[in-house]
Structure 1
Amino acid sequence: MVEINPFRAYRYNDNKIKEISDVIAPPWDVIDKSLERHLTESSPFNIINLISKSYTPHNVKENFNKWITDGVLTQDEEDGFYFMKHNFKWMEKDFTRKGFFAILRLEDFKTGKIIPHERIFENYSINRYQLIKTCKANFSPIFMLYQDTSFTVEEIMDKTPLTSIGHTADKEMFEFGRILNNKDIQSIKGTVSQGNLIIADGHHRYNAALRHYIDHPTPENSFVLVFMVNINSPDVLILPTHRYIPSGVSFTASIDTFRRYFHIREAADLKTISDTLNGEKSNAFGVYENSRFYIITLKNINDVKEHIAGNFSDKWITLDTALLHEFVLPYLFDRQPKEIIYHQQPEYLMDEYKKRNSGVIFFLKAVDKQHFIDISFNKELMPQKTTYFYPKVPSGLVIYKFDEQ
């Protein structure tokens, strides 16, 4: 069983911060220089000052402590869970993702209670480790998924009064509130503790917190800030991350090899690729090279299996990202590229291609949610950037300072 608890969060003081939207930010690893500049200009107290790699952990600690001393951040007097209803639109459809902030007892992955779902970039964890070690706080939550077909927690959130309404950096509205009723708290704890949890987003932060606890195994270091969402909710949205390989590979030069395994047809434009992939059930990619678009669809997965090194399940092999990284790149291209640029927006990668005028772009479709669940609970790590849970959970709504609980 996993253990989650309510806590006394540090939050922005309403008397000092009039608009919460001015001080929250996306997670640090998706903030580019332009957005960081915008966030910094929006308020001198924006959470970007505590999560950006631009600041040393020592600088962050000084800022954090000063904000507490000056009353910019204040700690709640009662333990509670904090919930957020995030309203957003995708492909002309409205969504409301409901989740809650809690603290989670850290567990080694070997216990099977906490399930990572994809491989990580190790140097990212090192950066977050130093921040945790120095500040003794979590400024951004780890996005966790639990399973509950009865939707118990959602019912509690819906009946609990809101305390504030705001907007994210993407102008999406959210509603925020606190769950303080002990009966509701115990109900939530009982619901979530019954099963294992999947890390949706924040693998590096979880790794950093776990390593910090292993290095410094004291009670106050044994919990980490999380945002919990029910995977059974229809409002959990997974988007793809596309790949641009700037050099070292050519699709057109290898097209005869590709034809042995893929059906290949040209596409008119990016919209055609997007529309086709959205409705495609079999393994397929969009490809762009030299001003031409292609759609390639796998002929037979059984022809591929013998060329994929490692002991993987059939479900894992049929991931588009697995097919790309474990078959297309090492076997059809005979190499693993030194550089891959990842992005959720195809247009961004098209602009990058125009700057370099070389390489190949692979456009992917989103992984099916049940496919994701099956592979995760089978304890198989997916290739990096297989999933993009949209939207990202904002940083700054709650802060967990774990030396004062």
Structure 2
Amino acid sequence: MAKIVPFRGLRYSSKRIADLAQVTAPPYDVISPALQEELHQRHEHNIVRLLLGRISPEDTDEDNRYTRAAALLRQWRLDGTLCRDPEPSIYLYDQEYAAEDGQVLTRNGLIALARIEEFSTGLVKPHEKTLSDPKADRLALLKACQANLSPVFSLYSDPCCVLEVLAKKEKDRQPEVEVKDDDGVWHRLWRCTDENLIGKAQALLDNKPLVLADGHHRYEAAIAYRDYMRQLHPDFTGKELFNYVLMCLSNMEDKGMRIFPAHRVVSGLAGFDPAAFLGRLADYFDIESLAFDPRDGEQILALRARLSDLGSCRHTLALYTGDGRIHYLCLRDEGVMDEFFDAKTPKVLRTLDISILHCLLLERLLGIASDDSERLRYIRRIDEALGLVEGQGAQLAFLVNPTRMSEVRDVANAGEKMPQKSTYFYPKILSGMVINPIE
């Protein structure tokens, strides 16, 4: 099953970088253009310069964001900005954060190298669809840098929480890394060389299949890079580092594990008539419309609670069109979803709230594909989604309940994939905590 091994991580030197908050960054795929520029300006050694370098009109095959990232990585290693740990290690990784209800939680993780597996084996299971362009982008960066710059995030199931108990003693000491990110999340990293603990972690995970949570494009790029390197080295043994990928593994039964929703905001619809659209929705949904002020924090809290309450017994979404009313949409008949899938598709995928949103509302009624980046945006915070409609020209905000962990597991176990951005695992794994040089 999941095969993990310790490795000699590459980390920022505390002697060269006094404040790691200045050089770490979120994963590349949640960095907006504005944040990308801010991180570039924040520090000359910020990891974004490797993860997501600037693009120039003068770029060539010999000089581009990937070659510049590779050159910077070499330079930072030579000048001591990045130093490789002396012994193979696994890294215990905690993230302390505030949930949407204000509760302070800690999600436990373990960073190691995981053997790359084909999806067809069922040992590593994706749960979301991917796009070709991001995969090509990450593969180009991987080929240039020959390093995993940030970990893929995966889940395993262990109701007994064995690793959490085993790691508790190791975490009694001061962590090697402790940094607070821009969202107020505390990230703590302990380097562990204890062979006994490493062996127990390997034994536990050896019996566990993994579900990819975040980093689908990076994992598929790692598969392509492994195959590319195997062609260059036909005498490979399987133990070379290109057969492994940097991975953060967390227990889906961890008390600190949460999935946040990813709301959808629509704009650019020519001649859109909100009243006519609500009339079409009435063919499929029972609609409850209530007066609503999107600037009132108490009303936003009530919206979230009402959406959750309705969603506990029926497939429910909320819609805001800027008309001073919030519309709760409760699907009348699950059977309407059958025509979007073949008969073999499991019910859990056909009737996901996100499947209903994408297939029925976005594609059929609005003619918007899930990859239509000009008209469709994915937004984590309800207040931000509402604000885009209220004052920034968007036309619709579809608000959703978070996908359940059981749904993620069941879809992955069935060998199926959810629509893009069906889940928002929070907090995000911080880039710049540890790098895996593929040597």
Verify the 8 A CA contact 2:337 2:356 in the aligned structure 1. Answer: no
TM-score scaled by structure 2?
0.87
Cα displacement (A) at 1:334: 5.8
Please give the alpha-carbon distance, in whole angstroms, between the structure 1 residues aligned to 2:361 and 2:153. Answer: 31
Cα displacement (A) at 1:244: 1.5
Structure 1 equivalent of residue 33 of structure 2: 33
**Secondary structure of 2:54's match?**
coil
Deviations 1:4-54 (A, max 9, x none): 110000111111111222211100111123322332333211111110142
Please give the alpha-carbon distance, in whole angstroms, between the structure 1 residues aligned to 2:14 and 2:20. Answer: 8
Verify the 8 A CA contact 1:120 1:203 in the aligned structure 2. Answer: yes
Change (3 A) 1:335 1:96: closer
Match of 2:182 among 163, 169, 173: 169
**Secondary structure of 2:339's match?**
coil
Match of 1:73 among 53, 75, 82: 82
Within a 5 Å distance, the mapping from 1:39-118 to structure 2 comes to: 39-54=39-54, 56-90=65-99, 91-118=101-128
Please give the alpha-carbon distance, in whole angstroms, between the structure 1 residues aligned to 2:162 and 2:176. Answer: 21
Structure 2 equivalent of residue 385 of structure 1: 421
Please give the alpha-carbon distance, in whole angstroms, between the structure 2 residues aligned to 1:224 and 1:138. Answer: 7
Please give the alpha-carbon distance, in whole angstroms, between the structure 1 residues aligned to 2:198 and 2:319. Answer: 49
After alignment, is 186-195 or 14-23 more displaced?
A: 14-23
Cα displacement (A) at 1:397: 0.6
Query: AA paired with 2:249?
Result: M
Structure 1: runs of 5 or more not aligned: none
**Secondary structure of 2:25's match?**
coil
Query: AA paired with 1:310?
Result: D
**Secondary structure of 1:341's match?**
strand
Deviations 1:78-121 (A, max 9, x none): 10101111100011111100101101111111111110001122
Query: AA paired with 1:208?
Result: A
Query: AA paired with 1:110?
Result: S
**Secondary structure of 2:340's match?**
coil
Cα displacement (A) at 1:58: 0.5
Change (3 A) 1:357 1:42: closer
Number of positions where the alignment pairs a residue of Structure 1 with one of Structure 2: 402
Match of 2:323 among 278, 291, 294: 291
**Secondary structure of 1:25's match?**
coil
Cα displacement (A) at 1:252: 2.5
Cα displacement (A) at 1:165: 2.2
Structure 2 equivalent of residue 370 of structure 1: 406
Within a 5 Å distance, the mapping from 1:121-270 to structure 2 comes to: 121-160=131-170, 161=173, 162-217=175-230, 218=233, 219-248=240-269, 250-269=273-292, 270=294
Verify the 8 A CA contact 1:250 1:360 in the aligned structure 2. Answer: no
Deviations 1:300-349 (A, max 9, x none): 313x1343233421111221111111222344446647431111123333
Cα displacement (A) at 1:245: 2.0
Cα displacement (A) at 1:390: 0.4
TM-score scaled by structure 1?
0.94
Within a 5 Å distance, the mapping from 1:282-321 to structure 2 comes to: 282-292=314-324, 293-302=326-335, 304-311=336-343, 312-321=345-354
Verify the 8 A CA contact 1:309 1:326 in the aligned structure 2. Answer: no
After alignment, is 313-322 or 293-302 more displaced?
A: 293-302
Structure 2: runs of 5 or more not aligned: 56-64, 234-239, 295-299
Please give the alpha-carbon distance, in whole angstroms, between the structure 1 residues aligned to 2:361 and 2:353. Answer: 10
Within a 5 Å distance, the mapping from 1:297-376 to structure 2 comes to: 297-302=330-335, 304-311=336-343, 312-333=345-366, 336=369, 338=372, 339-354=375-390, 357=393, 359-376=395-412
Verify the 8 A CA contact 1:273 1:295 in the aligned structure 2. Answer: no
Q: What percent of counterpart residues are identical? A: 27
Verify the 8 A CA contact 1:147 1:192 in the aligned structure 2. Answer: no
Deviations 1:226-278 (A, max 9, x none): 11101111211101111122134655313233223211121333414322112
**Secondary structure of 1:216's match?**
helix
Change (3 A) 1:310 1:333: farther
After alignment, is 90-99 or 259-268 more displaced?
A: 259-268
**Secondary structure of 1:228's match?**
strand
Please give the alpha-carbon distance, in whole angstroms, between the structure 2 residues aligned to 1:53 and 1:239. Answer: 28
After alignment, is 273-282 or 102-111 more displaced?
A: 273-282
Structure 2 equivalent of residue 277 of structure 1: 307
Please give the alpha-carbon distance, in whole angstroms, between the structure 2 residues aligned to 1:20 and 1:181. Answer: 26
Cα displacement (A) at 1:356: 6.2
Please give the alpha-carbon distance, in whole angstroms, between the structure 2 residues aligned to 1:60 and 1:334. Answer: 39
Deviations 1:135-168 (A, max 9, x none): 1001110001111122121123211033332212
After alignment, is 211-220 or 21-30 more displaced?
A: 211-220
Please give the alpha-carbon distance, in whole angstroms, between the structure 2 residues aligned to 1:75 and 1:334. Answer: 51
RMSD: 1.9
Please give the alpha-carbon distance, in whole angstroms, between the structure 1 residues aligned to 2:156 and 2:350. Answer: 25
Change (3 A) 1:289 1:210: same
Please give the alpha-carbon distance, in whole angstroms, between the structure 1 residues aligned to 2:53 and 2:10. Answer: 22
Change (3 A) 1:142 1:250: farther
